[in-house]
Amino acid sequence: MSGPASAAGGAPRGSGGDPAGADRYTVVSADCHAGAELLDYRPYLAAAHHEEFDAWAASYVNPYEDLVADTADRNWNSARRLAELERDGIVAEVVFPNTIPPFFPSASLMAPAPSPGEFRRRWAGLRAHNRWLADFCAAAPGRRAGVFQILLNDVEEAVGEIRWAVAAGLTGGVLLPGTPPGSGLPELHSPVYDPIWAACADLGVPVNHHAGSASPPLGDEPAARAVFMVETTWFSHRALWHLVFGGAFHRHPGLRLVLTEQGSGWIPGVLDMLDYYHGRLVAAATRSATAEARFGAGLADSMGARPSRVWRDNCFVGASFMRPHEVPLRERIGLDKIMWGSDYPHDEGTYPYSREGLRIAYAGLPREEVAAMAGGNAARVYGFDLDLLDAIAAKVGPTVEEIAEPLGTPPADATSPAFARGGSVRVW
């Protein structure tokens, strides 16, 4: 895995490598969320959908308390959002969706893949969100990388939307939906999705896979909710081995995959496991007399390099609020791979205690490592201009001295799991 030198890329920007931000970090949150207020999506829909939208919106009941609370406008109030992020020490953000797009029964991240009869309406709804997002990002030039949405039911339509979004200035890349059991869609390893991988590689934008976007519906019983919490990150991890074993990176060497809000401590062990199966199956393919040979047939030619090499060359992790017990694994994960995120405006995010969230994870680490994980890596992956951001960070960013101080007792009213007891090797 990559070490500190490649992670820092020389002197750390915004943390001693640049005079304008000599004593402050330039923090880029690689995991934030936004969306329009429900009725504000209407102007972004084609006129042919307006009557249908009016009827749908009149009967829609939002199932999410945070989207009807008096703080819900954090999702769409650009001025409030900039002010709160700056108070939290954050100067730029990667913006994933959050509010309900038109014609969806629930959040688009977690809604099961639509049936053919629902595709037309849901596709119109996602395209409306993408157009709203382009305007929302344009309201804060250089400070928001918007992640646009597609559906996998029609690959040609998806590729057209990817090209539109990039031309419209959305630099966050595509949000890859999951293909959970029962979706009826081809699995992500299928070559049917090759035009999507090709478009993203050609246009230089990442493919993002966010936690929660690949879980099958489990019901609403208490046990089902608990099982969802246990399984949801695993279902999201599946995108990694589907694309690796499916050969997407072999056919498209410029393709980049970002796995966000799925933790990071699992990565070294999973890469070891994938390398093991890769080696075992490739070797078995040369022994045609064995029963296992059929599992490895064609694998080496189709997927190329071993999974750990693919990770090193093509993959990144939006680790969100990295836990202290994950930090010792940072060199095995790759210091140039890890991107911190606040998960704003979710109540499980670190706001308004992001400085404390950075301290709990990164206190005592070399400043060039903190600079890379807290902002430098995200700036590189999503194309942020560090000259622009360093100047803002020089006024609002957390100081190097502040983040170096270990956090004692977490804030009493903090709601983020980043501060949860038992989630760290440290004892409060």
User: Tens digit of pLDDT for each residue in 285-333?
Assistant: 777 777 777 787 778 788 889 999 999 999 999 999 899 999 999 999 9
d(CA 403, CA 155): 45
Cβ proximity of 94 and 172 under 8 Å: yes
> Largest Cα–Cα distance in the chain?
68
Identify the H or E element spanning 6. helix 4-8
Q: Which two tokens stand for residue 122?
A: 């849901």
pLDDT at 426: 33
The domain segmentation of the chain, as residue ranges, is 4-419
pLDDT at 284: 83
pLDDT at 219: 85
Q: Which CATH superfamily is domain 4-419 in?
A: Metal-dependent hydrolases (3.20.20.140)
Sign of the four-CA dihedral 44, 48, 53, 54? positive
pLDDT at 20: 40
Mean pLDDT of the chain: 90
| Chain position carrying tokens 């009557």 | 51
Report residues of the chain scoring pLDDT below 50: 1-12, 14-21, 423-428
